[in-house]
Chains A and B, each alone.
Chain A
């Protein structure tokens, strides 16, 4: 099962750049100057790489959030961290002329502010009250949505359009210069999380056990959340918010592997990337005039799964 899915995934990753609305002439890919060369190297490949590394960051951040908050429903999205990043980016689009670097910076700031609010809240709650934190996250998301509405009201037509397109999520990048930051952040992120593997495992036990196991659980949780939020913020500022990857991938991986979450860092990272490449492949090949936004595809698959998780939890937890 695991070998088969690994093989299929690798095949998917290799073949994904070759398929799209315009069929490629494979012989011309390596011939510079041809339109096939440009299509492959400047559009298809950057897009697949962006999809892979964004998906991997979102999935791994979901795993980290679920482990740190000890709640299977927490992700950067359900807790409003990604909405914070979206709001920051929208502010940059409306007030700062949509300059890319400001979009990144404000998106990043939005995510960090959200995680800071969450952390202050979680400190005043007991560890068993994470559902309260979820509610707080939902309240924050509503607040951000309202602020986003205000921005729509203040923006002109073009700005509104770019915000709407942004909130739907898009992997349509052109050229490698967008891929490099996402790729670098993604690889740095997984390396950092791996270096916390032992501490993460302690967090998966109980507060008492972790506290007497030689770590400061609060500080470790904060470090992991900050790292994850920063990585998510960078990806969201490039691709827009892409929901549900962080929720469903860690659950599917744990159901398949049946091991504790700290041992699933690499599988979650890898299959998160594969999942988004797969969704993007669907988005690009449905034959509509323009690409269906990637957020739509992941949510269509993720929404029903979210409900399935809730139902299953109810059954096992009485």
Chain B
């Protein structure tokens, strides 16, 4: 189980949350509200003793335990060496598992990119590549930072299906701005505002109209199972 106990790093103030075994999380909030900071703190990239996994503080995990526990899929693929190929990248997630690598590429429909250089991929293709890496890694907690931001509708649905059905993601923590995705995922919701926790609880409670009004003002309207951003509100 994952527990964040009174975490205050950078702009985050007194964040508390806990996820039991098998529970997932969706982190929502405005730009700059601390979503990425929180997810980086959870997986130890910003070391903090306020984050615990199974009664052990995250900074005390060994590098190997850490890699088995957490995997972070950033919003943007960042690689220094421009000659790293897709195969090289996936090989780092699953050393010497050619068959597994090919299977994952097949699942995501990017087999044709196997020998390409990562630096040449489009942003959508990079996202798929990072998801492929996460599937190979099979960490206990996989964190996705805005995974659908660069994907077309078809690939967004493919990713949604993978997130919800794949046994490879034991616990998933998804940062997103896409309320429809958050609703469909049905996981616990954490809503951040200026580094503070504004809501933490079940999905249905978050998407209740009065709570939406409280968090988003008039900018978001619920229409049945769908959520719409009211661009007209700005007029």
Contact = CB atoms under 8 A, between A and B. Distances in A.
A211 B80 contact: no
B66 to A, nearest CB: 6
B216 interface: no
A215 interface: yes
A204 B74 contact: no
A197 to B, nearest CB: 11
Contact of A204 (B45, B67, B71, B84): B84
B26 to A, nearest CB: 21
Contact of A67 (B45, B81, B92): B81
Given A201-B92, A208-B45, A214 B67 contact: yes
B66 A209 contact: no
A129 interface: no
Contacts of A211: 44-45, 63, 66
B83 A212 contact: no
A213 B92 contact: yes
A10 to B, nearest CB: 26
Contacts of B89: 205
Contacts of A205: 78-81, 84, 89, 92
A47 B95 CA distance: 42
A206 interface: yes
Interface string A24-41: 000000000000000000
B189 to A, nearest CB: 25
A165 to B, nearest CB: 39
Interface string A143-170: 0000000000000000000000000000
A33 to B, nearest CB: 54
A260 interface: yes
A254 B83 CA distance: 8
B79 A198 contact: no
A21 interface: no
Contact of B92 (A202, A259, A261): A202
A262 B88 CA distance: 10
Contacts of B93: 213
A126 interface: no
Contacts of B63: 211, 214-216
Given A198-B95, A206-B78, A212 B88 contact: no
Interface string B54-89: 000000000110110011101000111101110011
A284 interface: no
Contact of A214 (B66, B72, B74, B78): B66
Given A204-B81, A206-B79, A260 B70 contact: no
Contacts of A208: 40, 45, 72, 74, 78
B192 interface: no
A259 B70 contact: no
B182 interface: no
Given A70-B80, A259-B83, A209 B92 contact: yes
Interface string A254-265: 100011111000
A204 B64 contact: no
B81 to A, nearest CB: 4
A151 B44 CA distance: 48
Nearest to B130: A209
Interface string A122-157: 000000000000000000000000000000000000
Contacts of B64: 214
Given A206-B80, A208-B74, A254-B83, A201 B88 contact: yes
Contacts of B88: 201, 260
B43 interface: yes
Contacts of A204: 79-81, 84
8 contacts: A201-B88, A204-B84, A206-B78, A206-B80, A208-B74, A216-B63, A259-B83, A260-B81
Query: Which 6 residue pairs across A and B have the least CB separation, nearest first?
Result: A214-B67, A204-B81, A206-B78, A70-B80, A260-B84, A260-B81
Given A208-B40, A208-B45, A214-B63, 7 more contacts: A207-B45, A212-B43, A212-B71, A213-B93, A214-B64, A260-B84, A260-B88
